[in-house]
Every structure is written in C-alpha cells, then in structure tokens.
C-alpha cells in the first residue's frame, strides 16, 4: 500500500514558515506568496484534490483559513511557487480558489498577532472521489470544508509554525 504524503521544498514539516510567505498587510510585510506543495501516493479512485492551509490558533473562535483550493485535477502532483496569486493563473486548469479569511480568492500569508506564541499552520491535501465540487464560486470556507470532507478518500498534512515578536 502506498502512503499518501504531502511536502514542500520551501517549508519543512515541523519547521518554521519563512518570513517571505507572510501576508502583506495587517501589520505584516511579507511577499504574500504561496509555497510549493508536492504530494504522492494518492489512493485509487482519486478524481480531484483540494488543498488547504489553516491556522487553528488564530484568535477568532474558529481558526483562520489562509488558502483553500478545490477542483485540482487528479493528474496534478504539485502546486508551483506562488500558485495562490490572485486570479489563479498559477493553478492547474480547472482549479478554483475559495475565499480565504482575508476575504480574497488567493493565498493569504501567515500573520499571527505580534506577541502571540507561534501559530500552527496545517497544510493539507485531500484526495477526493469526485472530479468537481458542487459548490458556488463564492462558497464560504466552511461550506467548501463540509463538501471536501464529505468526498475525501484520504488526506495528507504537515504542520509548520510562525510567530512575530
């Protein structure tokens, strides 16, 4: 049996997110670029993927969605540097970005409040048993998450941290 794995040459599992992946706004001054993500070992029957980046430590009561990509073709095994740019030009054909908690259809970089303990950022790829999620383009991350979880065959994750003094 092949193990489903997710990794990034830009961010080590268990490591620290480099500063250039930080948001540019809210007091943060990074480049707001999404990292390269690579996966392998998707289970048989995978028809598409969803990719998420979530901060469970955000002081919101519900965490913070930094990135939510759905309808990634099943033939895809990686997302390129800055694939999360506004406009989705760097994503594989057919993939869609769901509105993140900054309110944009793009990657929203890490930006924990200054002085908080470092936040955890959970990078996940979901192998889905459907070719396309039946959700509107303006779906919330909560609705997209419900539909992703309803169709997940397997998922692979890694966590990295980031804090600001």
For each of the domains in the chain, give its residue range(s) and CATH number, in order of start: 5-162 (3.90.280.10)
Spatial separation of the C-alpha atoms in residues 28 and 19, rounded to whole Å? 10
Classify each residue of 43-63 as buried b or exposed e, where b means 16 or more C-beta atoms within 10 Å of its C-beta. Answer: eeebebbbbbbbbebbeeeeb
* pLDDT for 86: 95
163, β-bridge pairs: none
DSSP H helices, the chain, are: 141-151
pLDDT confidence of residue 16:
98
Mean pLDDT score across all residues of the chain: 97
Give the residue-averaged pLDDT of 3-24: 98
Q: 1 falls in which pLDDT band (50, 70, 90)?
A: low
């Amino acid at each position: 049996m092949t193990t489903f794995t997710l990794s990034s040459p830009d961010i080590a599992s268990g490591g620290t997110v480099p500063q250039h992946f930080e948001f540019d706004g809210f007091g943060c001054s990074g480049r707001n670029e999404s990292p390269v993500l690579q996966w392998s070992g998707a289970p048989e029957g995978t028809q598409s993927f969803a990719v998420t980046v979530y901060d469970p430590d955000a002081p919101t009561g519900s965490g913070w969605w930094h990135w939510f990509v759905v309808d990634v073709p099943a033939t895809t095994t990686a997302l390129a540097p800055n694939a999360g740019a506004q406009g989705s030009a760097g994503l594989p054909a057919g993939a869609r970005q769901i509105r993140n908690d900054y309110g944009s259809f793009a990657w929203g970089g890490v930006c924990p409040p200054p002085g908080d303990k470092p936040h955890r950022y959970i990078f996940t790829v979901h192998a889905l048993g459907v070719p396309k999620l039946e959700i509107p383009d303006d779906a919330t991350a909560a609705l997209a998450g419900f539909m992703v979880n309803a169709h997940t065959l397997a998922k692979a994750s890694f966590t990295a941290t980031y804090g600001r003094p």
